[in-house]
A and B are shown apart, each in its own frame.
Chain A
C-alpha cells in the first residue's frame, strides 16, 4: 500500500494532464450529438418519408455497430477517399455521430410521450407545427429525457477512452504510456480508474441536481 501511495504521488500529476483532453473531447462530442440527435428525432416524428428513412437508417447503423469500428473507419478509412482529420477531431466525430443515434431514440421517446392533445391545442390557436414543437413539446420532452440523457452522457465520458486507440492523448493513453515506462501497469490503471470514477460521480451528481431543478409537477416525476 505504501508503495502504491509513493507511486501515486510520483505519477498522478502526469496522469491528470490527460483530464483536460478527456473532458474537452467529451463536452464537444455530446454537445454536437445533442443537436444532431434532436434533429434526427424531429425527422423521425415529423419528417416526410425521405427524412424518416434517412434518420432511421442512421440510427440503425450507428447503434448496430461498435464505436471502435466506427472510429477506425473515420480515422483510418476516410483518408482513403481524401478526408483526413487529426486524431482528436476524428474522435470527436466518431463519438458525436455514435451518441447522436442513441440520443435520438431517447428524444423520440420523450417527445412522443407528451400528450398529443397539447399539440392539437397549440395548432388550434394558430401556431405552426414548428412553433408548437419548439414551444410546447420540446420544453417538456427535454425535461423528461434528463435521466436517460444523463446515463448516455456518463457513458460517453467513459467511452472517450476509446480515443486512445487512435492516438488521442487523453487519460487512458497517458496511463498506458506511464505503464510502459514504469512497467507498473496495474498501479497506473488503478489510478486511472479512480480518476474516471471521480469524474463520473461528479457528473452524475451534477446532472441529478439539474434534474431536480428542472422538475415541473405534471411534466416530470422526481425520484
Chain B
C-alpha cells in the first residue's frame, strides 16, 4: 500500500497545486469585485440602479448551490467563448466569493467609527480621501478575521470544481483509485489530510497577520463558514 501512495503522491500534489492556483485566482476575483461592491454599497449613491443590481447579485450568488453555478458558468460561457473548465471555475467560484466578501468588507467598513470619517471631512479631506486614508486601512484589518473564514471555505469549495472536470486534488484522488484497485480509504484520507494541512497553514498565517496589524483597541472574530 505504501508504494502505491508513494508513487502516486506526485499526482496528488499536482492536484493540490491546481487547487491552490484556482483558490488564489478565485480569491483575487472575489477581493476585487467584492471590495468594489462593498465600497459602492457603503459610500455609493443611494439610487435604485446601483442598489438593485447589487442586491440581485448577492441574492443569486449566495442562494444558488456552487455546483449549479459552476455548471452555469461552464455551459453558459462556452456558448459565447470556448472556455476551459478551469477558467469557468475561477469565474463561478470567484463571483460567488465576491458576494460573500462584499458582505465581509461592508461590515468591516461600517465598523469604522463614523465619527472618524466626520473628523476627516471636517479637516478638509475629500470623501474619497477619507475613504482611502481612514476607512479602508482600518476596514482591511477588521476584515481579516472573517476573511480567513472565507479563505478556509473557498479552499474546500475548490474540490467542487471536480464536477466540471477540473483536475484538482479530489479528482486526482479519484483517478488514482480507479487506476489502482482498492486503497480507497487511504487515498481519500491522504487527500483530506492535504486539505487539512493547507487549511491550518493558511489559518495560522492569517491569524498572525491579523494579530500583527490589528488596530490597537479592537478585537473581532466573526463566525461564518
Contact = CB atoms under 8 A, between A and B. Distances in A.
Contacts, number: 116
A179 B68 CA distance: 12
B188 A158 contact: no
Contacts of A160: 65
B199 A164 contact: no
B123 interface: no
B10 to A, nearest CB: 19
A70 B192 CA distance: 8
Per DSSP, chain B at the interface is: helix
A148 interface: yes
Interface in B75-132: 75-76, 79
B191 A158 contact: no
Contacts of B177: 76
A160 B64 CA distance: 11
Interface stretch (B30-38, B43-51, B140-148, B155-163): B155-163
A66 B157 contact: yes
B67 interface: yes
B209 interface: no
Give the size range of B's interface with the partner. 35 or more
Contact of B170 (A69, A185, A200): A69
B156 A65 contact: yes
B224 to A, nearest CB: 7
Contacts of B174: 72
Nearest to A155: B225
A151 B223 CA distance: 11
Contacts of A24: none
Interface in B190-221: 191-193, 195-196, 199-200
A222 B185 CA distance: 46
Contacts of A68: 159-160, 162, 170
Nearest to A157: B65
11 contacts: A66-B160, A66-B195, A69-B159, A69-B192, A70-B192, A77-B184, A80-B182, A159-B65, A189-B71, A192-B68, A196-B64
Task: In the A-B complex, list the 3 residue pairs whose CB atoms are closest, starting with the nearest.
Answer: A185-B75, A66-B159, A66-B156
Interface of B: 59-60, 63-69, 71-72, 75-76, 79, 152, 156-160, 162-163, 170, 173-174, 177, 182, 184-185, 188-189, 191-193, 195-196, 199-200, 223-225
Interface of A: 60-61, 63-70, 72-73, 76-81, 102, 105-106, 109, 148, 151-152, 155, 158-162, 164-165, 172, 175-176, 179, 185-186, 189-190, 192-193, 196-197, 200-201
